[in-house]
Chain A
Amino acid sequence: MTDQEINDVIGHDSPMDQKCRIYASISFAVLLLGVGLPLWWETTAVPRVAIPYVGIRALDDLELHIHVRFLLGCLDTKNSQQLADELMQRLMDARFADIYRISLSHFGTTNTSIARAKTLDDLNKAAAGFQLNHGDILVLEAPAGLGENLIHVTSGRSIYFAQNTDSAKIAQVLCQWIYRDAALTLTKNALTEPTEYSLDVVNRRRFPVSSNYDVLLTVVNPEPELLQVDRNFSHIAQDYIDPFLEELSIIADFSIKSQWLYFLPLGVKPKEVPANNKFGRYFALSEDILPQVITPLEKKLASQVSLYPTINLVAYMVPCKSAPLHIFSRNGRRVNEKLDLEPFHSPRWGGIVLINPSAEFCKQAKANKIFKPPVNITTKVFLTHLRLLLGIPDKEEISRTSMAELSGLKPRDWEVDDLLRMRSVEQLTSAKLTLQSLARLLREISNIVITETVGGRIMRALELIELSAKLLNEGDLKGGFLASKEAFVMSEAAFTDPSLLALLYFPDDQKYAVYIPLFLPIMIPVLFSLKNIKNYLFCSDQV
């Protein structure tokens, strides 16, 4: 074999070959380092949408002063100016100014139907002429017709006061019944600084805010074989409770269910006491052991099937052999002796009423007779429970001040306004805290995924909080409330989104464990070829 032949077979590098090889290496390197690496970096990065940290931090200084309008009408224009000044001063020096802003307009009613009103009905008719929105209050001086009382609070949004009523008295009614500034401030503080403030008894009773509630009416009949109860009794759920809750539908969505439970004993043993009544005895249950009545009941109520907070209303049919069953308070007296009812309630849980059959009924109970529980009075008890648990507290009595009776199932207009204000404050504060907590978490832990959904919800919640505060400051109570409700729901949804934890339990080292075996075999030849490329390009004379 000649040298020539050997050269042909082995194929010595011609400059052309070398050039091709170098270009191939360059294209590999460019592809891998220029496209592959950034692509890998991009695709393995934790997806994080930008979060408005600045806006969320600024929520700390969010100003919330609910704007309330009130109109003051006096019989005499001169009087109205003076009274308006006095009232303003009295309201502003309290804690009132912390949470409220007032605009007061006053006018004289000399030649109007108000001045001619003889009775409360006349006044009501005259007051109906005013255009009052959610949160507004009309304070009118009544020419006559209030009887002995100095002040009368209607079921609408107006208050009447007799001539020469002290402005301090009017301010007291406004603060204590209508605006409840102390309760609002406490609620807000207890949410923001739970270590400093805690809710008082009245404010701890109502359910925490939620967009939905379930109301569960349970009729418990422990001895159905001895006591037949009218099946129609449970219709109070549809007949009375449903329309009542419909009046409050702006606050939340309520769904109502009813159920019957049998063979469920009371769980405690009441003490038998001989007495001078038709039974010749009664059974005494002391207030202290009532919590032990709820505990066994709770296991059987099946309120756990619902995802929303459940308001339990329980009617317990006392069997004849342990009737009448009376509840005694700690100081040894019956609370509702006049109504002959035994109701009690547990904060944030619900209400229970023990229903005793009458002595006459029990004596002839052997005949196949059906026990008809008193529907009207039981309904009133349940409505009382619902009002308390939803946040319409009992009003403390003020001397020489009367309040219109509830007519129908509708709550008083100013009570609804109060509820709107209370829940706006709760929802806004809660949404604010939720967003701030979430923002702190997202900033501190860098491998938490922030999906577009979560980012969008945070943005939306932030906008809604600002909008709601603005509307409340401008005096649009209904609009402000609705915005705060949505802000609350949005911030909850953002905080509890399951995707936040998606990568937290996928540690970083595992990423390398997956990708390094894939990339290393390709990367090594490419990295080595970089040296050749450098030699070829910059020191070509040596080759």
Chain B
Amino acid sequence: MNIHLIGSLFALQIINVFSKIPHSFAKTGHSNNWAVLVDTSRFWFNYRHVANVLSIYRSVKRLGIPDSQIILMIADDMACNPRNPRPATVFNNIKQHINVYGDDVEVDYRGYEVTVENFVRLLTGRLQPETPRSKKLLTDEGSNILIYLTGHGGNGFLKFQDSEEITSQELSDALEQMWQKRRYHEILFIVDTCQASSMYEKFYSPNILAVASSLVGEDSLSHHVDPAIGVYIIDRYTYYALEFLETVEPSSTKTLSEFLKVCPKHYCLSTVGVREDLFRRDPKIVPVTDFFGALRPIELTSNIVNIVDFNKSNKTFLSQSKEKYKLISQFPNFSQYS
């Protein structure tokens, strides 16, 4: 009896040890959020990919990532395509619930700028010095990055606009460069293509959680056709991901493990692949908003410095002087010279 009791106590102890996650892992260490959203295909029959990427764009923006921290790479040839019966809209649903094009879409890389080279340059930070800030990924070792890719893929590659492709090796090397350069804290990598899981198989850098809409050998299927548009309008995985994200609020406590289950096999028809071994926190306790939102940690400022003999600088500034402003003529008067 005694032995039994001690045994069960011991077992309880063990359970306790394993269920207790270290405090530092449960708490996030990130200080800012970024999103890199890429649609690698173009032309009208790929309408669904644009709807995919804009669905995610809409969600991260709604949940608080500012446009300056979202890099959106799409061909952007749908909203104003002559075949679009409702110009300036992109819908994710035949019932036209949600116009994912929204009111303000800020595309950073447009049209033929969506290339493998630009994508890798963006990730590794090797851009021309004259590149505007909106096209740069200015992350540091405290940044959580959401990378979402959609397009046409095969085993081990993802096609970029019919002319080139990025291999899974290239992608994982680029991510490793980012890690070595301390350009991220954690990455949530989502890819919605055929044979998507082949894209993350070669990853070897830490702190990456990868999700793929289909396993190797499977096709990632589209959700439904809108006869008015004439083509498939969204892919299954992203359709259900958006459905889930629409229920998330900036303050909500939904976790990543719930997000990983948004598309079970009878919805997606393909198997959603997840790679967790590189990620060091438990998805069950990581809030979705660690990647899809932008909640910055805050601290109350407690010890206000006390400053004695506190004088402002003696410099005079233009704004303080009592200068009168007057209108001057737009063109110089040359009459005095002639």
> What residues make up the interface of A, taking CB atoms closer than 8 Å to B?
191, 194-195, 198-199, 201, 204-205, 208, 232, 235, 238-240, 242-243, 287, 289-292, 294-296, 298-299, 303-307, 327, 329, 335-336, 339, 341, 343-349, 351, 376-377, 379-381, 383-385, 387-388, 394, 405-409, 430, 433-434, 436-437, 440-441, 495-498, 500-501, 504-505
Contact = CB atoms under 8 A, between A and B. Distances in A.
Contacts, number: 177
Interface stretch (B127-135, B231-239, B328-336): B127-135
B111 interface: no
- Which secondary structure dominates where chain A touches chain B? helix
Nearest to B164: A505
A92 to B, nearest CB: 30
A380 B141 contact: no
Interface in B260-300: 280, 293-300
A350 B83 CA distance: 47
A408 B307 contact: yes
A347 to B, nearest CB: 5
Contacts of B312: 239-240, 243
The listed residue with most A CB atoms (<10 A of its CB), out of B116, B164, B313, is B313
Given A198-B24, A408-B311, A433-B180, 4 more contacts: A240-B313, A380-B310, A405-B307, A430-B182
Given A238-B315, A406-B307, A205 B299 contact: yes
B307 A383 contact: yes
A500 B280 CA distance: 32
B251 A292 contact: yes
B321 interface: no
Given A388-B301, A505-B117, A498 B126 contact: yes
Contacts of B302: 335-336, 394
Contacts of B294: 295, 298
Given A191-B182, A498-B127, A408 B310 contact: yes
A380 B66 contact: no
Contacts of B134: 304
A204 B142 contact: yes
5 A-B pairs closest in CB distance: A304-B68, A239-B312, A437-B180, A295-B64, A343-B301
Contacts of A295: 64, 250, 293-296
B304 A505 contact: no
Given A194-B182, A287-B298, A384 B305 contact: yes
Main SS at interface, chain B: loop
Contact of B141 (A205, A208, A343, A437): A208
Nearest to A436: B180
A40 to B, nearest CB: 26
A345 B307 contact: no
A501 B304 CA distance: 49
Q: Which of B121, B128, B293, B312 has the most CB of A within 10 A?
A: B312
A232 B321 CA distance: 12
B338 interface: no
B317 interface: yes
Contacts of B320: 232, 235
A346 B297 CA distance: 6
A287 B300 contact: yes
Contacts of B293: 295
A501 B142 contact: no
A437 B181 contact: yes
B220 interface: no
B182 A433 contact: yes
B142 A348 contact: yes
B325 to A, nearest CB: 15
B300 A335 contact: yes
A496 B128 CA distance: 9
Interface in B30-55: 31-32
Contacts of A346: 31, 296-299
B3 interface: no
A332 to B, nearest CB: 13
A291 B290 CA distance: 13
Contacts of B120: 501, 504
A434 B181 CA distance: 6
A232 to B, nearest CB: 8
A191 B182 CA distance: 8
Interface string B221-254: 0000000000000000000000000000011000
Contacts of B68: 303-304
Nearest to A195: B206
B298 A343 contact: no
Given A194-B182, A405-B307, A496-B126, A290 B66 contact: no
B177 to A, nearest CB: 7
Contacts of B218: none
A379 B207 CA distance: 40
B304 A380 contact: yes
